[in-house]
Amino acid sequence: MVKKTKPVQRDIARIAEVSQAVVSMVVNGRAAENGIPETTQERIRAAIRQLGYVPNVAARSLRGGRNGLIGVHTFERVFPVHSDNYFNEILIGIEEQAVELGQDLVLFASTQGSDGTRTIYGSGSNRLKLADGAVILGLEQNDEELRRLAGEGFPFVFIGHRDVPGVPYVTAGYFGAVGAVVNTLADHGHSSIAYLGTSLTKNPQEERRAGFDEAIAFRALNATQRRICEPNQLTQAWLLGVLDAGTTAIVIENHELATTLGGLAAAIGIGIPDQLSVVVLDNAPRADAVNPWSHITVPRRELGRRAVAVLIELLDGHIGSDHFEVLPCEPPLLTTIARLHSTSELGSTSDRAT
pLDDT at 134 over 60: yes
Using an 8 Å Cβ cutoff, are 174 and 211 in contact?
yes
Supply the pLDDT for residue 53: 78
How far is 241 from 226, CA to CA, in rounded Å?
Answer: 13
How far is 18 from 44, CA to CA, in rounded Å?
Answer: 8
Assess whether 201 and 311 both reside in one domain: no
Supply the pLDDT for residue 351: 47
Assess whether 135 and 169 both reside in one domain: yes
Assess whether 344 and 223 both reside in one domain: yes
Q: 9-65 pLDDT, tens per residue?
A: 889 999 999 998 888 888 766 777 788 898 998 999 899 888 887 666 555 554 456
Specify the pairing of strand 156-159 against strand 294-295: unpaired
Assess whether 231 and 160 both reside in one domain: no
Supply the pLDDT for residue 65: 63
Domain membership flag for residue 283: yes
Question: pLDDT band for position 354 (50/70/90)?
Answer: very low
Domain membership flag for residue 56: no
Supply the pLDDT for residue 67: 82
Tell me which of 116-130, 214-228, 256-270, 273-287 is least confident: 116-130
The residue among 137, 182, 185, 181 whose CA lies nearest residue 161 is 137
Q: CATH no. for residue 288?
A: 3.40.50.2300
Mean pLDDT of 314-320: 91
Mean pLDDT of 84-94: 89
For the chain, the average pLDDT equals 86
Residue 126 is part of which domain span?
69-173+301-327
pLDDT at 345 over 60: no
Assess whether 168 and 190 both reside in one domain: no
Question: pLDDT band for position 1 (50/70/90)?
Answer: very low
Supply the pLDDT for residue 113: 67
Q: What is the pTM of this model?
A: 0.76
Domain count, the chain: 2
Q: 64-77 pLDDT, tens per residue?
A: 567 889 999 988 88
Q: In what order do the strands lie in the sheet with 156-159?
A: 104-107, 69-74, 133-137, 156-159, 169-172, 324-327
